Amino acid sequence: MMTPITCPAVLVSAPASGQGKTLSTAALARAWKNRGLNVRAFKCGPDFLNPMILEKATGQPVYNLDLGMCGEQDGLARLYSVAQTADVIIVEGVMGLYDGTPSSADIAVRFGLPVMVTIDASGMAQTFGAIASGLLAYKPELTPAGVLANKVGSIGHADMLRESLPPHLSWFGALQRDEAIALPERHLGLFRASEIDDIETRIEAAAIALANSGELPLPPLVTFKPPPVSTIPALLAGKTIAIARDEAFCFIYPANLDCLIALGATVKFFSPLHDKTLPEADAYWLPGGYPELHLKEISENTAIRTALQVAFDANKPILAECGGMMALSASINGTPVFGLLAGNCQIEKRFQGLGTQHVTLAEGEIGAHTFHYGSFTTPLAIAFQATSKRVPSNHRNGEAVYQHDSITASFLHFYFASNPQVAANLFLPRV
């Protein structure tokens, strides 16, 4: 019988976006790891990019915590699982502490996670302590852990900030303003960790800076209760799923891979950019990413285009999510791509989709997420329409899901663990 387990844990948030949560979380995680601790990290919300940074910092897979897309039980199960072996758990929040529905504060309360806030201290002195204190006291149900100062001007400035804190808030160190440790961004957020040549140097330098700015405490102990026992039927037993994974196709939740394996599937990987053949498989998955940044390689890889056509002609299931769907269309920004789906894609100047959504497919409902600048003009009929409590005005009905023979395509990124049975059917022939 499973029993509750305790582990130090903290959720890192901020007064607003752009305060340096990711860098602070990565630096703190690495600083603890450098002390010989087993550090496990999570990311609030359905983000793909920040977990890649945190994976570099910890050396371990990073999972998402999201009450909307993933669900409460999924979060409880994952926290309980990593608490078995972790010395400390660190969770990066999303936006400002109280922004969004559900907010980072909602997630912290639901999972019993103490909160540390990262504050951009540029141009700030004793007000630093007042902001930290008020932010953490605004919701009485929160457990305050402490504060980390970012973009500090000097050691003396950091000392002044630290002295402004009330006694009940721990000091988790300071990071001085330094472009050498900043994390670069592009239109979908941070660069992928593998694109930042000196990412290891940046994280390590930030971790050392934190360690040198004070004795970093561990966060409070949290008791994680065992989740309800659930079993996943082996609906994909004996099946091989080949997954596109390279610079252009990289938005893959680790939980999705775990789910496919739990369903009994064997997982293989291939690169639509660099490979000339497809792995032998029963089904194929092209996840999201940045195909628009690699149009030359995609348009010139006629061997993979032919191989995908052969798989399609053989009626093998193909799941194409967001960038994967764009790559299967006729063109992106006017450049011909793989051409299995009628229609053309364009990268627009404004968001075309953003937020958690759910869609009911033939077998049931599954959680998903959308975040893209791409548009898709197509004669294909909409097979299913996602729904969302909050969607941009030009997508009030949520994202479309298209089915073209064996292809299922959408701007949605599906979260398989929210309904493994529905996920399994995405990779089985339709009857």
Residue 324, in any domain of the structure: yes
> Could you give the C-alpha distances from 39 to 8, 11, 31, 54, 276, in angstroms and in order?
10, 13, 10, 10, 39
The count of structural domains within the chain is: 2
Give the pLDDT confidence score for residue 392 in this predicted structure: 46
- CB of 310 closer than 8 Å to CB of 295: no
- CB of 161 closer than 8 Å to CB of 125: yes
- Beta carbons within 10 angstroms of residue 17's beta carbon: 10
The letter for the amino acid at 335 is T
Give the pLDDT confidence score for residue 395 in this predicted structure: 44
- What is the 3-state composition of the chain as percent helix, strand, coil, each rounded to the nearest 5? 30, 30, 40
- Known active-site residue 345: no
Residue 421, in any domain of the structure: yes
Q: Are residues 305 and 197 in the same domain?
A: no
Residue 56, in any domain of the structure: yes
What's the rounded Cα separation, in Å, for the pair 297 and 335?
11
Q: Which of 70, 259, 322, 345 is catalytic?
A: 322
What's the rounded Cα separation, in Å, for the pair 236 and 289?
25
Q: Are residues 130 and 64 in the same domain?
A: yes
Q: Are residues 173 and 220 in the same domain?
A: yes
Say whether pLDDT at 394 is over 50: no
The pLDDT tens digits for 37-72 are 999 999 999 999 899 999 999 999 999 999 999 999
The pLDDT tens digits for 113-145 are 999 999 999 999 999 999 999 999 999 999 999
What's the CATH code of the domain at 357?
3.40.50.880
Say whether pLDDT at 182 is over 90: no
- Burial of 47 per CB tally in 10 Å (0-12, 13-18, 19+): buried
Residue 166, in any domain of the structure: yes
Give the pLDDT confidence score for residue 178 in this predicted structure: 74
The letter for the amino acid at 404 is H
Nearest Cα residue to 288 out of 319, 255, 260, 242: 319
Q: What domain range is 407 assigned to? A: 240-425
Give the pLDDT confidence score for residue 302 in this predicted structure: 97
What's the rounded Cα separation, in Å, for the pair 356 and 165?
36
What's the CATH code of the domain at 13?
3.40.50.300
The pLDDT tens digits for 228-244 are 888 899 999 999 999 99
What's the rounded Cα separation, in Å, for the pair 291 and 345?
11
The letter for the amino acid at 256 is N
Q: In which band, very low, low, confident or very high, does the pLDDT at 197 lie, cut at 50, 70 and 90?
A: confident
- CB of 376 closer than 8 Å to CB of 411: yes
Give the pLDDT confidence score for residue 396 in this predicted structure: 57
What's the rounded Cα separation, in Å, for the pair 73 and 405?
34
> Could you give the C-alpha distances from 267 to 134, 207, 295, in angstroms and in order?
48, 35, 26
- Beta carbons within 10 angstroms of residue 186's beta carbon: 12
What's the rounded Cα separation, in Å, for the pair 336 and 346?
12
Residue 233, in any domain of the structure: no
Q: Are residues 167 and 296 in the same domain?
A: no
Give the pLDDT confidence score for residue 198 in this predicted structure: 82
What's the rounded Cα separation, in Å, for the pair 235 and 296?
38
Q: Are residues 219 and 263 in the same domain?
A: no
Q: Are residues 263 and 184 in the same domain?
A: no
Q: Are residues 36 and 105 in the same domain?
A: yes
- CB of 98 closer than 8 Å to CB of 2: no
DSSP 300-356: H-HHHHHHHHHHHHTT--EEEETHHHHHHSSEETTEE----SSSEEEE-SS-SEEEE
Q: Are residues 65 and 155 in the same domain?
A: yes
The pLDDT tens digits for 258-304 are 999 999 999 999 999 999 999 999 999 999 999 999 999 999 999 99
Residue 430, in any domain of the structure: no
Q: Which residues contact 123 (CB under 8 A, 6 or more apart)?
A: none
The pLDDT tens digits for 343-393 are 999 999 888 988 899 999 999 999 999 999 999 999 999 999 999 855 444
Task: List, in sequence order, every residue forming a beta bridge with 422; answer none if it has no partner.
Answer: none
Nearest Cα residue to 361 out of 425, 288, 287: 425
Say whether pLDDT at 253 is over 50: yes
- CB of 427 closer than 8 Å to CB of 282: yes
Instruction: Give the phi and the psi of residue 311 in degrees, each rounded to 5.
Output: -65, -40
Look at the chain and count its residues: 431
Q: Tell me the pairing of strands 413-414 and 288-289.
A: unpaired
What's the rounded Cα separation, in Å, for the pair 70 and 370?
14
Q: Are residues 195 and 303 in the same domain?
A: no
The letter for the amino acid at 221 is L
Domain end marker among 224, 252, 281: 224
- CB of 254 closer than 8 Å to CB of 61: yes
Q: In which band, very low, low, confident or very high, does the pLDDT at 180 lie, cut at 50, 70 and 90?
A: low
Residue 356, in any domain of the structure: yes
Say whether pLDDT at 11 is over 80: yes
| Total-model pTM | 0.93
Nearest Cα residue to 213 out of 299, 264, 147, 257: 147
Q: Are residues 114 and 208 in the same domain?
A: yes
Residue 231, in any domain of the structure: no
Q: Are residues 156 and 261 in the same domain?
A: no
The per-residue b/e assignment along 207-219, b for 16 or more CB within 10 angstroms, e otherwise, is bebbbebeebebb
Domain end marker among 224, 250, 274: 224
Q: Are residues 106 and 220 in the same domain?
A: yes
Q: Which residue has the higher pLDDT, 294 or 189?
A: 294
